[in-house]
Amino acid sequence: MTGAIPAADGPLLSGPAGRSDSEARQRLPQTLHVVADKLAPIALCFAFALAVTLSLSAIPRRSGDAHQYVAMALQLAQLRPPSLSLEEESAYRAWLRAQPPESGFADGARAINQPALIREGRQEFSHFWLYPLLTAPATVMATATGAHPLVAFTITNAFLLGAALWATARTFGSVPALFVIGSPLVWFLGRAQVEIFTVALLCLAIAAAARGRWGWAALAAAMASTQNAPIAATIPIFWGAAIAEWVADRRLNHRSALPNWAELRLALVFALSAAGVALLHPAYYLLRLGVLTPQELNGGIAGAWPTAGRYLAPLIDPEIGFAAWMPIVALLTLAGLALLTKSVRHAGIENRRLALTALCAAAMCVWFLFVFAQTTNVNSGGTIYVSRYALWLIPLVLPAIAVSSRYLDARVPGIMLIGALALFATYLSYFHPNQGERYVEHSPQAAWLMTHAPAAYRPLPEVFVERELHIDGGPRVSAADPVCQLMFILAAHSEQPCALTLSERVSLQQRFSGGDAAVWVRRSSQGAGSVTTATLGS
């Protein structure tokens, strides 16, 4: 499937000697390309069907704020408001406590009550109701058949992801679409969490942009913003790209710079639609709670300029980062961007549009990393090791993945399909849907670094403390690794399991006397320690 992106488009995919892809294909058995092109869609369908089947057969488990999404879906399925009255809250809490212990839903009974979000005797939630509304029809069927409500979320997630994979395959090819499902995202198919919703709509936005359908791209981003309001800030990026492409097209074809009435009307319809959808979230909460988002009331927003470490953590941190958990995708992305940068001036219209889409994706990535850094719970639950926010970056790499995939497949037919299937099998095994969340223990990458190269590891305090002590709640206590090479010490809670040397105690006291709230103590293999300031928000 090539869709809007041709298999070869002039010098963009040229080899080292300047030969185009069409010439390279002539040197390779044509049958290999045909077989690979035929097998790729079949492999994608098989991978998707297998992932959905395993998710449906998994034990229903609560993860993250699943209890909130389930509550809203059950309410909406009965044609009630998404918020809970006192009686409805009591009944729902009883249902949670009646769930099997291994499901984790019983623990959610304690987290239902959020006093800051109660208005007029009804409990509102930290998350918007559009995603549960989409799940409501499947919830009606699940309730009628005696199935667990999580089955409804799995079915809804399957439809959302299926639509995203179809659009991705039609636009970029089946192999790039395999990289979407061949990732940690596969674990979220059976979860009552918004990750599939967000990633699916961002995939639809990027796919629409690559086809020059900028209005649809902005509308898809607006839909995604209903569950995560900061995504709305990316809508003007697509509008700007549309204007840039429109102006370039007018100049190239020597047409009038003024749009006609039909063009203005279509642009206005898309603009108003995207703005209207994006305003659903803030308008509802402004009406119900008096704020633009409930995160303002429950302490979910840090509201501070992030340090470099905190800003880049969802991208490169060995515990939670995109590159740490999807290194092959990261390398292919860098290769694709290099190819685009090198040859975009000589490319055809499709690849110029692809480059413009990649530029939009880069701008979105810059903004998303800033947004991620604003959360007060960077080591958030509802995931296995990797940050769930890092998954938002998967759709943004699709243009680059498409370029590098074409480039490699033109020279070694079928290599990308084999690699994508291998990655899918690996991720499906490691992030198997039938397992609970795991976010308060160190990732294998971080554990290796702490053992073999502690000087190279600069963890965030929250991530280090929660994963070292296997607790949730942020850096409120001191912690140290098992061999006492890396210690995080709070002035208000300086007790920790490692004995300090005299010089370390003196340095520690000087730091605390100077006003530091927390410090890092790092020791080399020879035992010498250095004391440095720890920024709690970093």
Q: Residue 142 has what pLDDT?
A: 95
Euclidean distance between CA atoms 399 and 526, whole angstroms: 48
Q: What is the pLDDT of residues 182-224, one digit of tens each?
A: 999 999 999 999 999 999 999 999 999 999 999 999 999 999 9
Does residue 12 contact residue 351 with C-beta atoms inside 8 Å? yes
Would the pLDDT of 2 be above 50?
Answer: no
Please tell me the least confidently modeled range out of 50-54, 99-103, 152-156, 260-264.
260-264
**What region does 423 belong to: left with phi over 0, alpha with psi -120 to 50, or beta?**
alpha
Does residue 117 contact residue 125 with C-beta atoms inside 8 Å? yes
Number of residues assigned to the chain: 538
Tell me how crowded residue 258 is: count the other CB atoms within 10 A of its CB: 8
Euclidean distance between CA atoms 89 and 80, whole angstroms: 13
Q: What is the pLDDT of residues 353-392, one digit of tens each?
A: 899 999 999 999 999 999 999 988 889 889 999 999 999 9
Q: What is the pLDDT of residues 424-468, one digit of tens each?
A: 999 999 999 999 999 999 999 999 988 888 778 889 999 999 999
| Stated pTM of the model | 0.91
Helix (H), strand (E), coil (C) string for 164-228: HHHHHHHHHCHHHHHHHHCCHHHHHHHCCCCHHHHHHHHHHHHHHHHCCCHHHHHHHHHHHHCCC
Tell me how crowded residue 231 is: count the other CB atoms within 10 A of its CB: 26
3-state secondary structure of 529: strand
Give the mean model confidence (pLDDT) for residues 296-325.
90
DSSP secondary structure letters along 367-415: HHHHHHTTBS-TT-SSSBSS-GGGGGGTGGGHHHHHHHHHHHHHHSTTH
Tell me how crowded residue 189 is: count the other CB atoms within 10 A of its CB: 25
First-residue to last-residue Cα distance in the chain: 44
Cβ-based neighbours of 81, under 8 Å, separated by 6 or more: 75, 122
Q: Could you give the residue ranges of the DSSP H alpha helices within 58-188?
A: 66-77, 86-97, 105-108, 130-145, 149-172, 174-181
Would the pLDDT of 535 be above 90?
Answer: no
Q: What is the pLDDT of residues 263-302, one digit of tens each?
A: 889 999 999 999 999 999 999 999 999 999 998 888 778 7
